[in-house]
Amino acid sequence: MEYLHIKPLLTIFAVLYTCVLFAALIDLFFGVRRAKRLNIARTSYGYRRTITKLTNYFGLLLMLSIADIVASIILNLPYFSVIGTLGIIIVEAKSVFENLKQCEKNIDDVQKALQKLLENRESIQSILTFINSQKNDNTTTRAAQQ
């Protein structure tokens, strides 16, 4: 009889844990995609951070699940686990949006830098002319010394 009471609760827990896993995997996907765009090396350290994050998330969910099982005598739904899962999903969604925003920010930075270069093209051109003249002078001096 008690198993029949716990079985729907376990089904809900399975769904909640799966949602947390998918949220973390989506964040991992967008993080790796951002790193590729920015030419940042993907190292084992970053992947270990994801595993550590999942361990922490599932540890928290396990504690909330135990609290829900104890509270299932009074409450019909696993409120603690649902609230915890929603919190984790919100954190992961925020992380995904930060990754997307960072990519847009980098594009904006490149556009601003190009605009400044175009605004200062005469100055840059005179600097390059000076550098080339110095290079040519050094080359001529070395050739004369030999």
Sorted by where each begins, the domain ranges of the chain are: 2-145
Question: Using CA atoms, how far apart are residues 11 and 6, in angstroms rounded to an integer?
Answer: 9
Determine the number of helices (DSSP H) and then strands (DSSP E) in the chain. Answer: 4, 0
Question: Using CA atoms, how far apart are residues 64 and 85, in angstroms rounded to an integer?
Answer: 10
**Per-residue model confidence (pLDDT) at position 98:** 83
Nearest to 11 by CA among 59, 71, 66, 78: 78
Tokens of 86: 């929603």
pLDDT along the chain (146 residues), means of 10: 69 90 89 81 84 93 90 81 91 84 61 65 69 63 58
Q: Could you identify the residue written with the tokens 């556009």? A: 111
Nearest to 86 by CA among 22, 10, 9, 19: 19
Tokens of 22: 């998918």
**Per-residue model confidence (pLDDT) at position 108:** 60
**Per-residue model confidence (pLDDT) at position 58:** 94
Q: Model-level pTM greater than 0.85?
A: no
**Per-residue model confidence (pLDDT) at position 137:** 61
Residue 57: Cβ-neighbour burial (10 angstroms; 0-12, 13-18, 19+): buried
Question: Using CA atoms, how far apart are residues 82 and 100, in angstroms rounded to an integer?
Answer: 27
Residue 42 DSSP code: -
Sheet strands (E) in 50-105: none
**Per-residue model confidence (pLDDT) at position 1:** 40
